[in-house]
Structure 1
Amino acid sequence: MLVPHEVCFQMSSLLLVFSLPMVASSSQERNVGSHASSNADAHKVSSRLLFEITLHGFLLWVSLGLLMPLGVLVIRMSKREESGKKLKTYFRAHAILQMLSVLLATAGAIMSIKNFSNSFNNHHQRMGLVLYGIIWLQALAGFLRPVRGSKGRFPWFFGHWTLGITVSLLGVINIYSGLLAYSEKTSRSIRLWVILFTIEVSFISFFYLLQDKLEHIQKQGVILGNEASGTIDQMASHSVKQESSIESG
């Protein structure tokens, strides 16, 4: 049975996957006319600035669009482990992925502050600023985690989980808005990148939701296997009884 926060994540994931590409496509179509009139400005984008914009986008994609969601998936896989080497391995992988994600996001933020004119007059820049703050708050919370079984463990876990999911969802949204900003700045098509990123987000969301069902599927397999084994044992026992009755007769 799904708990409320899992239902909320499923609804958010589906809405994110199916709505954002359409928003990107419709926005791109609406801006075709304006692109034609602003081609002169687009051509003024220097090759160096274009490289910096592309590198900034790549860093943020690796950070928020790949490593952060993978870190969530890895730590989610550890929930069936109470202790032992597997749990430590999952935790270390989660910590490494998240630290790399924070470092790359920080590098992208420094690039943005240093090389771009940040007037914060659009959704992409504003959301990016909020994301940078939440990312570091999440990292700090990770270092301050209480030990298992302590009184503060549950509120910490809920807050840490909420921040992680928030960063992942906002990060994906901001990547889409960043692609739109890139298209508006350079007049280049982003259709291929939107499609590829949507496939990636769909796969990660599917795997996230599948994790809830894997244990149930495995239990069903064990139950069915036990039932089949029990049926075979009953048939064998019945056959032995019949042979015994024939011999005694």
Structure 2
Amino acid sequence: MLSVLLATAGAVMSIKNFNNAFNNHHQRLGVALYGIIWLQALTGVVRPWRGCKGRSAWFLAHWLLGSVVCILGVISIYTGLGAYHEKTSRSTKVWAIAFTAEMSVIVFIYLFQDKWVHIQKQGVILGNEPVRPTEEHVSATDEMKQKESASENC
């Protein structure tokens, strides 16, 4: 909800303070993003309960809208930097490099978080050594296997 409110505040400020001829890609993308952000919020409000028929379709639509917002948002930053450069003739290379570095870090963290549990289980983080079973551990494991096989036979 905070994102919708901030986007609405940004849209109001843009309409009040800037020339909105919608003659460049950044302005058109902004309008499309604004509409998709509100559509995303509305799909969140009408979310079906788990187990309902339409839940899978809703999830796919909500996920796709969220992904589209993220991708168009990134594209909008670069087109905005281009529009700023055209209007002011000032260089935007530093801003483009800074934003690219920021996005690279975010993507790295996003992809890394999925693998973090796997890496921890491997015992390679922070010098953790893999656990070697002791005699007590082996005998306890054997007892558990025997109990499981006995219960499976029942």
> What's the TM-score bracket when you normalise by the shorter of the two chains?
0.7 to 0.9
| 2:32 paired with 1:114 | no
Q: Which has the higher contact order (CA 8 A, sep 6+)?
A: 1
Contact 2:49 2:55 in 1 (8 A): yes
* Cα shift readout 1:95-144 (whole Å, capped 9, x = no counterpart): xxxx2222111111112222222222221111111111000000111111
Give the direction of change, closer, same or farther, for the CA distance of 1:152–1:195 in structure 2 (3 Å limit). same
> 1:228 corresponds to which residue?
131
Give the direction of change, closer, same or farther, for the CA distance of 1:227–1:206 in structure 2 (3 Å limit). closer
Match for 1:121: what amino acid? Answer: N
Aligned pairs for 1:164-203 (under 5 A) are 164-203=66-105
Q: Hey, which of these two has a bigger chunk of helix by percent?
A: 1
Structure 1 Cα separation of the partners of residues 92 and 99 of structure 2 = 11
> 2:49 corresponds to which residue?
147
Structure 1 stretches of 5 or more lacking a match?
A: 1-98, 238-249
Structure 2 stretches of 5 or more lacking a match?
A: 140-154
Match for 1:186: what amino acid? Answer: T
Structure 2 Cα separation of the partners of residues 201 and 125 of structure 1 = 22
Question: Paired residues, what number?
Answer: 135
1:150 alignment partner, SS class = coil
Structure 2 Cα separation of the partners of residues 186 and 210 of structure 1 = 39
2:91 alignment partner, SS class = coil
2:131 alignment partner, SS class = helix
TM-aligned CA deviation for residue 219 of structure 1: 3.6
Match for 1:229: what amino acid? Answer: R
Structure 2 Cα separation of the partners of residues 219 and 152 of structure 1 = 37
